Structure 1
Amino acid sequence: MRVHKSSGFTLIELIVVVALIAILATWVVPGFQGLIARTTLDSEIERVRQALLTARAEAAQRRAPVRVCPTEDELECSSDWSVPLMIFVDANDNGERNASEELVSISQRSANAEITITPSDELGSGIAYRADGFTDINDEILSFKSNDLPADEAKGICIEYARVTSASLSVAKANCG
């Protein structure tokens, strides 16, 4: 009688490999979650920064006041920065979009962004750029805090007369006013 030697893994070896994979997964997954949260935060900051830069460029190019503000209906400005941003030509410079005023663009938030945006007092319901591309707002901050990250990883956008910069919140507060 011939004995055939079977090839493969034993049950013990298989259990050890599965246990090692489970241990590695519990160690790696939280790191990926933090990476995704930081990337989402950076993406949201860049979206708002680009909206502000677009509004500034449009104002200078058109030689007309342009406003960027949060909106829920693409008509009225809101003070809730968790909604999409609207950029519009504010021809009568009243801070509100009328039916005759051109909508330049809408900047949508990421659907899964768990980020709180807090404006400083002067920014309330939006930012207006004059026809020369400057704003009357100086040294004001939009704070960005991810609900999935510790508070010390919050970031900010500093809005000055002709500049928009982003940094960690502590650096933004130190450099902005």
Structure 2
Amino acid sequence: MSLPPHKPQGFTLVELLLVLAIAGIMAAIAYPTMSDWLAYRRVSAKSEQLINLLRLARAESVRLNLPVYVCPVDIANNGKSNNYCSTSNTEGYAAFADRNGDQKFEEGKDLPLRTAILNTAGQSNIEFSLRNTNTTALAFRPDGSFYRATSSNGIITTTRADSKIKITLTDKNGGDAKARRAVVLLLDNSGRVTSCARDKVRSTSGECAYATSTSTKP
């Protein structure tokens, strides 16, 4: 009784090369989209930190019956906030309750609340700015009022917010893809913060559009 002829198992070299070529083409097509998605998720995570900081500042001002300021800070390698309201190289924002009402942060006298770490000295991937305004700091008052502010040598000067404040965050290395990787936040004149829908951020018009506004970086 004769045995059936042996059939080779597995793939031929030509078939393997064809599969690898197809996989390479698909990866090349998917890479820009995947890069945009990963960068957007990183920016979105940082924006959530900032949203939580701003909402906390607004609520704590009422609860503590004290003015609460949000201003730029440096971030040390251990995550500690330094140079409140007087940094020349903003890496994050910190909120503090001004116990003595002197409109500046004093260690041991004022109450630190929370810090949103956007960058550190060793890792700087996020570009962020306040746009359409000369604002570099924000102020929340116990009566619920909201003020835009500037800081110089640690001293905060406030002006009643009479229009929306726009904050943008994006991938610092995004190049032409910055609009696709951006998150835009809006603060209304009562200090409430909202995050714009992604399609409106990518638009070329409207208050949420990333590309239409000039930047004033803190």
* Same fold flag (TM > 0.5): yes
Question: Which structure has greater strand proportion?
Answer: 2
Aligned equivalents of 1:118 and 1:78: distance in 2? 16
How far apart are residue 81 of structure 1 and its match?
7.7
Instruction: For residues 62-97 of structure 1, give each alpha carbon's deviation from its aligned partner in whole angstroms, at most 9, with x where no partner exists.
Output: 111111112114352146684122111112333321
The aligned counterpart of 2:147 is 136
Unaligned runs of 5+ in 2: 75-80, 149-160, 210-218
Is residue 115 of structure 2 the alignment partner of residue 106 of structure 1? yes
Q: Deviations over 1:14-73 (max 9, x none)?
A: 111111111111111221101112222222222212111110011011111111112114
Bigger mean CA deviation after superposition, 135-144 or 62-71? 135-144
SS at match of 1:104: strand
Determine if contact 1:122/1:140 at 8 Å carries over to the other structure.
Answer: no
Question: Which amino acid letter does the alignment assign opposite residue 116 of structure 2?
Answer: S
> TM-score normalised to the size of structure 2?
0.67
Structure 2 residue 113 is the aligned partner of structure 1 residue 86: no
**Percent same amino acid among aligned pairs?**
24
Q: Distance in 2 between matches of 1:122 and 1:114?
A: 24
Q: Name 1:57's counterpart in structure 2.
A: 59
Q: 1:135 to 1:60 in 2, by over 3 A?
A: same
Alpha carbons 1:56, 1:134 under 8 Å: kept: no
SS in structure 1 of the partner of residue 43 of structure 2: helix
1:123 is aligned, of 132, 135, 138, to 135
Offset at residue 151 of structure 1 (A): 4.7
Greater helix proportion? 1
RMSD: 2.8
| One-letter amino acid of the counterpart of residue 42, structure 1 | S
Whole-angstrom distance in 2 between the partners of 1:53 and 1:122: 22
Q: TM-score, normalised by structure 1?
A: 0.81
| Cα deviation 1:75-125 (Å, max 9, x = unaligned) | 52146684122111112333321121111122222666623212243421x
Give distance in 2, aligned partners of 1:28 and 1:80. 39
Aligned length: 173
Contact preservation (8 Å) 2:73, 2:92: yes
- Which amino acid letter does the alignment assign opposite residue 61 of structure 2? A
2:171 pairs with 1:146: yes
Distance 1:75 1:102, change over 3 A: farther
Pair 56,128 (structure 1): closer, same or farther in 2 beyond 3 Å? same
